[in-house]
Amino acid sequence: MGFSRIYTKVFSFQISNLMIYWADHLHACLFHSNWISALPCLVFKSEDPNGPMYYKGMYHLFYQHNPSSPLFGDIMIWAHSVSRDLVNWAHLKPALCPSDSYDINSCWSGSATILPSGKPVILYTGIDSKKHQVTNLVEPKDDSDPLLQEWVKSEKNPVMVPPSDVEVDCFRDPTTAWQGLDGKWRVLVGAKTRDSSRGVALLYHSDDFVRWTKFPNPLFGSEVTGMWECVDFFPVSINGTIGVETSVNSECVRHVLKASYGGHDCYVVGSYDPETEKFLADSDFSGSVSDLRLDYGTYYASKTFFDNAKNRRISWGWVYELDSKEDAIEKGWSGLMSLPREIWLDESGKRLVQRPVEELKNLRANRVCLHRKKLEGGSVLEVSGITASQADIEVVFELPDLEDDEEEVEFLDSDQSDPQELCKASVQGVYGPFGLLTLASKDMSEQTAIFFRVFRCHEGYSILMSSDHSKSSLTTNVDKSSHGTFLDMDPKHGKISLRCLIDHSIIESYGGGGRSVMTSRVYPKLAIGEEVYLHVFNNGTKTVTLSSLEAWSMTKAHFNSNDIQ
């Protein structure tokens, strides 16, 4: 269960027209909004993705849900949706609801594990009768049912309780479990210690998945982050984009530890030794802008799973709201889900790379293309022929004269610079800002700029990637803070690519081939429906080459489609 509680809105699932729209027109209250059609039955509050898995031909996504209000409430349950293709979804009845002393005050976040027998089990956080956070176990009533519509709680619950050195309300969100060569199961639980603000990933062992024993030392911790929520731990291959099952551990993989804190999903990459139970990370969490993040925008409480149907690891995150409680109540819902993303380790072995799952391309229609366009300083070029409110855009920029103009490019001490302070698309630099003006009104009074800007730095060049929200809406009661990060690539030796998935009020932006990802949650008032425009722009003084642009309208996905049953 994430810091989600302080936000307001129901949940919508973005799936580029693919959004499972349970309240918004975009990422469908379960996903994005307009990509899906509204389903009044789900017009409430939804949050953290829980227990995603692939089972007997079906993709399952559970998620935190308040069935009675668009605000976070005293009773949260596990809602449940299924899909054959990660695009078209059906909503099922809730999987977990409070019922016993160990979860009577809510069923909070957790994860699914597929046992060697092929049966799935779930560990989740229960808020017990004393308001303590405990870990509980459930299994399917009928594991021959591909929809997994019935779940049975273990008679041994709770299977884990807060240890003496951990706050009773800071012990939650168990991970997917993994099995070592010794046959023992391992699982992590996010926590905060009593004597400090130290965030930790507590490690537990079990021989039978029912009786769990805490390992003496946490797998990893940080003195500066505070509570760790929605911890995730998984292996990634060092040889390409293929995903690996969670229990895999060999010289061919590295491990990723993700922790949610401070409103962000941050991670470190390192080596895990199951014999000593030590995780040696390449870096530490700092609680600052220097931390590696899965997403540099409005994104939290993510969860991954291994998709054995296509040998890939898929991640989902919660897109929280940036407007007020009053807006949520008026709207009747809050909270959305990101698009599902494939995730792997980049060639350097230093960070993760992400891209939207391939299945989303099945929604593409009305393709338009531009090639080899010179964008002189101050130019704005409209992209027409697609539905700009629901679109998938891939664009590539080149800077052919960069080395000749090196001395003119602004110098930036990137080691000490905060990218958030540089996120104004209206500022004129030498190379940039250049990129896309999305969700723009006809008079340009509303627009969300997704852009790059190039600086010189001690190591050569630094590329800022930003989402400028200062003009994203004429509404005044929303948070319009912009997002920014430095892209890990050299503009002298590669083209600068950007892919944006636009869905009415959500934009997911993938820069540098997915090296950095940024989710923008915005609230346009003029740029809606057919009154939405898309532009390529260059606000720098130097000419930028638009190497290529391909854009597609996105068609709607289906909800509760008959072919899922």
Q: What is the pLDDT of residues 465-487, one digit of tens each?
A: 999 999 999 998 999 999 999 99
pLDDT score for 154? 98
DSSP element (H, E) containing 330 = helix 325-331
- For residues 157 and 204, state if they share a domain: yes
> Per-residue confidence at 29, pLDDT binned at 50, 70, 90?
very low
Instruction: Note whether residue 20 is domain-resident.
Output: yes
Q: Which residue has the higher pLDDT, 11 or 362?
A: 362
Of the pLDDT bands very low, low, confident and very high (cuts 50, 70, 90), residue 32 is very low
The pTM of the full predicted model, rounded to 2 decimals, is 0.93
> In terms of residues, how long is the chain?
565
For residue range 431-461, what is the model confidence (pLDDT) as tens digits? 999 999 999 999 999 999 999 999 999 888 9
pLDDT for 560 equals 75
Same structural domain for residues 334 and 393? Answer: no
What pLDDT, on a 0 to 100 scale, did the predictor assign at position 15? 35
Residue 359 lies in a domain: no
Antiparallel, parallel or unpaired: β 506-511 and 133-140: unpaired
- pLDDT exceeds cutoff 60 at 30: no
Residues 310 and 417 in one domain: no
Q: Are residues 333 and 371 in the same domain?
A: no
Catalytic, 48? Answer yes
pLDDT tens-digit series, residues 202-233: 999 999 999 999 999 999 999 999 999 999 99
- State residue 563's pLDDT score: 61
Positive/negative CA dihedral, 395, 407, 411, 462? positive
**pLDDT tens-digit profile of 164-186?**
999 999 999 999 999 999 999 99
pLDDT score recorded for residue 36: 30
**Domain boundary, last residue among 298, 321, 354:** 354
Residue 95 placed within a domain:
yes
Q: Above 50 in pLDDT, residue 276? A: yes
The owner of tokens 């307001």 is 8
Q: What is the pLDDT of residue 264?
A: 97
Residue 421 confidence (pLDDT) above 80: yes
DSSP assignment of 510-533 equals EETTTTEEEEEE---SSS-TT--E
Among 354, 373, 408, give the residue marking a domain's end. 354
**CATH number, domain at 218?**
2.115.10.20
Same domain membership, residue 492 and residue 396: yes
Q: Is residue 518 part of a domain?
A: yes
The total number of structural domains that make up the chain: 2
Segment among 77-91, 120-134, 210-224, 401-415 with least mean pLDDT? 401-415
Q: Which of 91, 144, 89, 154 lies closest to 117, judged by CA?
A: 144
CA–CA gap between residue 111 and residue 338 (Å, rounded)? 18
Q: Which residue is catalytic, options 48, 128, 468, 503?
A: 48
Q: Does 370 lie in the same domain as 340? A: no
187 and 43, same structural domain? Answer: yes
In a domain, 315, yes or no: yes
348 and 371 assigned to the same domain? no
End residue of a domain, out of 304, 328, 354: 354
Helix, strand counts (H, E) of the chain: 1, 36
Domain that holds residue 272: 3-354
Whether residue 521 is contained in a domain is answered as yes
Q: In angstroms, what CA-CA distances link 387 with 35, 210, 383, 530?
A: 12, 52, 10, 7
Please indicate, yes or no, if residue 360 is contained in any of the structural domains: no
Same domain (yes/no): 410, 292: no
- The answer to the question of residue 425 being in a domain is yes
**Once rounded to an integer, what is the mean pLDDT over residues 154-170?**
97
Looking up residue 493, the CATH number of its domain turns out to be: 2.60.120.560
480 and 337 in a single domain? The answer is no
Residue 24 confidence (pLDDT)? 35
Do 303 and 415 fall within a single domain? no
| Residues 341 and 399 both lie in one domain | no
